[in-house]
Amino acid sequence: MRLTQIKIGELTTPTNVFLAPLAGYSNAVFREMCYNLGAGLTFTEMVSAKALCRGSKKTEDLLYVTPTYGGLKACQIFGADHDYMRRACESEALAPFDIVDINMGCPMPKIYKNGEGSELLKNLDTAAMIISQCKKSGKTITVKCRIGVDESNYVTAQFAKMCEDSGADMLTVHGRTRDKIYAGEVNWREIAAAKNAVKRIPVIANGGIFCVTDAEKLMVKTGADGVMIARGALFNPWLFAEITGRDAGDKRGAVLRQIAATRETMGERFACVYMRKLAGFYVKGKTGATSLRLKLLNCKTTQELEELIADIDF
């Protein structure tokens, strides 16, 4: 894959291979792990602009960044009210972040039915107002979208042009429609349409990347400036090293360090529940994976997890 830096506004990323916002997964420890493996940019899981403006401690906790994180700091917010969105960008909670990404692609019913996420694909005027108001905060603003709500309503090129004209500094396009959720083939032609529709901002291709070949093919077919990895990173965070040519290092050791860091940062209970689920993804495709996954899910403490993982050949 063609590796390069990406210029986003006045900022520059070290690589053009990014980690997507992953609800329930892209916490501070996981983001740092992926960054150290070669991810040029990592995003927090999406957070509600309204909740931030109302001082929600639970929401602010999702924005935690480890003191040792060495990359650009990027978060993702969602909402449909431009005033709340701008206020969130200007809030103290987002002050540490270099980049604020606006979610305009989430397909989940509770988000979509509230006029947020991919519902904004149907209302370009509202989307444009949100982007332009967020841009007034002085933050570097990026957008993540889908190609339409269904296959009879592709809006990719028009939406991409609107994002550029409204002041967005980068656009990431997930090459599926809202109704497909995460199923089906990625429509690379629509991602290419977004790339061809803009002149001044980078376009990042997202969807269906689970190996180096997937990333290479999507770059070639779309002409995108980079790729963003989502579920592929959950099963194999070392994919960032594979794509960028870095040494993946000791994988077993990395998982053990991840458990320890998650426990230290977020507590024993969270670390146990989160890491037994994530480790279950990591063992996919390995000999005896089903049995291993069951054992992992039955662990009651992080110590049990560590003892089990110490015997797994990653």
Domains of the chain: 6-244 (3.20.20.70), 251-309 (no CATH)
Q: What is the pLDDT of residue 37?
A: 98
Prediction pTM value: 0.96
Task: Answer whether 238's CB lies under 8 Å from 200's CB.
Answer: no
Average pLDDT over residues 38-46: 98
Strand pairing category for 11-13 and 6-8: antiparallel
pLDDT band at 314 (very low <50, low <70, confident <90, very high): confident
129-185 pLDDT tens trace: 999 999 999 999 999 999 999 999 999 999 999 999 999 999 999 999 999 999 999
Q: Which of 230, 153, 254, 156 is nearest to 197 (CA)?
A: 156
| pLDDT surpasses 90 at 218 | yes
240-288 pLDDT tens trace: 999 999 999 999 999 999 999 999 999 999 999 999 999 999 999 888 8
34 labelled catalytic: no
Average pLDDT over residues 204-227: 98
Which of 106, 134, 163, 299 is an active site residue?
Answer: 106
DSSP string for the chain = -----EEETTEEES-SEEEPP-TTT--HHHHHHHHHTT-SEEEEEEEEHHHHHTT-HHHHHTT---TT--S--EEEEE-S-HHHHHHHHTSGGGTT-SEEEEEE----HHHHTTT-GGGGGG-HHHHHHHHHHHHTTTSEEEEEEESBSSTT-B-HHHHHHHHHHHT-SEEEEESS-GGGTT-S---HHHHHHHHHH-SSS-EEEES---SHHHHHHHHHHH--SEEEESHHHHH-TTHHHHHHT-----HHHHHHHHHHHHHHHH-HHHHHHHHHHHHHHHTTTSTTHHHHHHHHHT--SHHHHHHHHTT---
Q: Distance between the two ends of the chain, CA-based, in angstroms?
A: 25
6-21 pLDDT tens trace: 999 999 999 999 999 9
Q: What is the pLDDT of residue 303?
A: 97
Q: What is the pLDDT of residue 287?
A: 87
| pLDDT surpasses 90 at 72 | yes
Query: What percent of the chain has pLDDT above 90?
Result: 96
Residues 6+ apart with CB under 8 A from 108: 117
Calculate the average pLDDT of the chain: 97
| pLDDT surpasses 90 at 313 | no
Residues 6+ apart with CB under 8 A from 230: 20, 22, 206, 207, 209
Task: Answer whether 89's CB lies under 8 Å from 134's CB.
Answer: yes
Residues 6+ apart with CB under 8 A from 103: 21, 46, 76, 77, 78, 116, 117, 144
Q: What is the pLDDT of residue 139?
A: 98
193-213 pLDDT tens trace: 999 999 999 999 999 999 999
Q: What is the pLDDT of residue 286?
A: 87
